Each structure stands twice: as C-alpha cells, then as structure tokens.
Amino acid sequence: MKTRRISYLSIAVLILVMISSACEMPLGAAPTETPTASPTATAKPTATPKPTYTPKPTATPNVAATQRIDEFNSLLEDFLAQGYVASTEGEIVELDDFKQEWAQLYYYDFFPPTQEVNADFVFKSHVKWSTAADTSDLSGCGIAFGLQDNGDHYVIFLDKSRIAFGMNRGTNTYQVGKTRGSGRLSFGNPAEADLVVAVKEKSAFVSVDGEVTEYTLSADQTTHGTFSFSLLSGTNRDYGTRCEMTDNILWIAGK
C-alpha cells in the first residue's frame, strides 16, 4: 500500500488531490493456527478407590465484552429502524485497538488491523485524537474501506471541524457528496468522540456522538474490499497527529 498525499483546492471543486509516494503497508493478518487436540489417554483399571476430586472454578465471563456486544446489537436494531442497514443478520468481528502517531503534513496511510469486507457493514469505535500543533490543516483518525489492489478506496477522517469523506480513484481523491446533514464538527485539541459508520449499498451514514450525516457513494466504485484503519497527519511538528481507536466492532452483513 502506498502513502497518500492530499492538497486542498476550493470548496466548490475537488478538495482532495493526491500524489502517491512509496511506503508499502502490510494489510493481511497472519492466519491463526488451529490447535491439534491431543489424544485422550486410556485410564488403567485399579481396585483402589479414586480420591475425591474438587473441580476448578470456571473462568469468569468477560462482562465488559458481553455488554459491548449487547450494546452493539441494540445499535443495529436502531439502525434497522432508521433504514441505515437492510437487516441485522451478519457477522460481528471485534478488531484490535488502533494506536498510531505520524508527522507528515498532507499525508495519510493505511494501518492494520485489517479485514476483508465484501458486503454492507457497520463499524463502531471510540476515537481519541490530537495534533502536536494547533493548525487549520485537515488531520485526524479514520478508516479506509473498499480498498482495491490498484489503490482505489474510500476514506473517512474525523477532523476537529468536519467529517472528511473522500473517494480515491487513480491518482485523485474526490470529496463524497452529502445527502443530508452538515458533516460539521466542533472539537478542541485533543478531541474525543464515538464514531459509527454504516455502509448500505450506495449510501453511507456517519454518526459522530449520535449526529448522523448521510453521503451518496459513487455508482461505479465498489465499497467491497479491504477495510483498514487510517491516519491523516496535520503537521510536521513533533509527533504530528496522534490517533487512538478502541472498542472497535465491525459488523458484516450476511449474504
């Protein structure tokens, strides 16, 4: 994968123009090895009475994880009622936390953990981000999805003042148009928010602390492909832009 550079033109035309520079990023997660069960030993008969056995206590369930999944299922039900998803049938994947910092102004890149997503999806995360210097340049945490072998993809970033939603095709990145909602944000530095992104066919719904903005996606660019985390740097100073995304849950619609 290649590092992406963004420059901003006028609001009336394309706001994101991108030039690639070499920086290969690993996308695939290493496959997990299936443990092989050990054969069960055959007990030898004995006339001696067996000693009393006290079973070990079972592991305590992860209450926090169970509650997180229950809350996510409730979110899916609400999104179904709002028309943001077509059903609640699908697979839930809990992704590892994402922590990264980067100082390279106007550039963004893709980072693991990654997941292949070839259906509609909903992604939920708790996001914290900051910049080493207060700046008007766009920066923040985000995700990329629909990532193809040729580099085409969609990308979403949470900046302190807006949702930045772009579509990359070839060497250019275009602003994805809003259907409804302002897409405006008002955060300080550092910032913190709950992010939910739902993609249903050719519509995307981005919720930031419960406020939803709807976007219309391109009719001729797929949303299916690799899903990954992304970070857009807003300054070259010190650590640049710092991003932390936790409680990451990805739901992939059943086919």
Whether 171 contacts 195, CB under 8 Å: no
Strands (E), the chain: 3-7, 16-21, 90-95, 98-102, 107-117, 121-131, 140-147, 153-158, 163-169, 172-175, 178-180, 191-200, 203-208, 211-216, 225-232, 241-253
Q: Going residue by residue through the chain (255 aa), what tens digit of pLDDT does each one get?
A: 446 655 333 323 333 333 333 333 333 333 344 343 333 333 333 443 444 444 444 455 577 778 889 999 999 999 999 999 999 999 999 999 999 999 999 899 999 999 999 999 999 999 999 999 887 789 999 999 999 999 999 999 999 999 999 999 998 889 999 999 999 999 999 999 999 999 999 999 999 999 999 999 999 999 999 999 999 999 999 999 999 999 999 999 997
Q: Tokens representing 9?
A: 């033109």
Other C-beta atoms closer than 10 Å to the C-beta of 36 total 6
Q: Tokens representing 142?
A: 């985000």
Instruction: Report, at the CATH architecture level, how domain 3-26+64-253 is classified.
Output: Sandwich (2.60)
Q: Tokens representing 194?
A: 């709950």
Q: pLDDT (tens digit, 9 = 90+) per residue, 213-255?
A: 999 999 999 999 999 999 999 999 999 999 999 999 999 999 7
> What is d(CA 141, CA 118) in angstroms, rounded to the nearest whole number?
23
Task: Classify burial at 211, counting beta carbons within 10 Å of its beta carbon; exposed 0-12, middle 13-18, buried 19 or more.
Answer: middle
Q: pLDDT (tens digit, 9 = 90+) per residue, 108-131?
A: 999 999 999 999 999 999 999 999
According to the model, what pLDDT value does residue 171 have? 87
Facing residues of 147 across strands? 226
Task: Classify burial at 21, counting beta carbons within 10 Å of its beta carbon; exposed 0-12, middle 13-18, buried 19 or more.
Answer: exposed
Q: Which of 131, 215, 142, 166 is nearest to 6 (CA)?
A: 166
Residue 217: CA count within 13 A, CB half-sphere: 24
